[in-house]
Amino acid sequence: MTGWALVAFGPRAAFGATGVVLLLAALPLLLTPDVRVVRHAPGAFHAAIPGIKLFLADGWIAGYFFVWQIALFLSLGQSYVAFGGALALAALVGAVSGLLLGRLIDAGHGQQAVSYAVGVLVFTTILRAAAPGHAPLAVIANALGALVVCLHIPTIMTAVYNQAKRSLCTLRFHVATEGSWDVGAATGCLLAALLSALGVQISAALLLPLPGAAALFILLRSYYGRHPLVTEIAVADPLAQNAIVNLGKSAEG
Domains of the chain plus CATH, in order, are 48-228 (1.20.1250.20)
Distance, in Å, from the CA atom of 138 to the CA atom of 144, rounded to the nearest integer, reads: 10
Cβ neighbors of 202 (< 8 A, separation 6 or more) are 67, 70, 71, 132, 196
Strand runs labelled E in 27-140: none
Q: 131 vs 61, 96, 136, 174, CA distance in Å?
A: 18, 24, 8, 35
Q: What residues in the chain have per-residue pLDDT under 70? A: 78, 80-82, 85-87, 89-109, 228-253
Yes or no: say if 154 and 178 are a contact pair by the CB < 8 Å rule: no
Amino acid at 27: L
Q: What mean pLDDT, rounded, does the chain reach?
A: 79
Residue 208 buriedness (CB in 10 A; 0-12 / 13-18 / 19+): buried
pLDDT at residue 41, rounded to an integer: 84
Q: Give the span between the Cα atoms of 184 and 72, in whole angstroms.
A: 23
Q: Helices 209-226 and 170-197 sit at what angle, rounded to 10 degrees?
A: 160
107 CB-contact burial (10 Å; exposed 0-12 / middle 13-18 / buried 19+)? buried
User: Treating both helix axes as pointing N-terminal to C-terminal, what angle do 110-130 and 63-75 enclose, rounded to 10 degrees?
Assistant: 40
Q: SS3 for 14?
A: helix
pLDDT of 251: 43
Contact 80, 125 (CB under 8 A): no
The whole-number pLDDT of residue 246 equals 46
Q: Which amino acid does the sequence have at 47? A: A
- Determine the residue type at 199: G
Q: How far apart are CA 41 and CA 229, in angstroms?
A: 28
Amino acid 105: pLDDT:
61
pLDDT of residue 99: 63
Q: How far is CA 61 from CA 87, 134, 214, in A?
A: 19, 23, 10
CA distance 83 to 167: 41
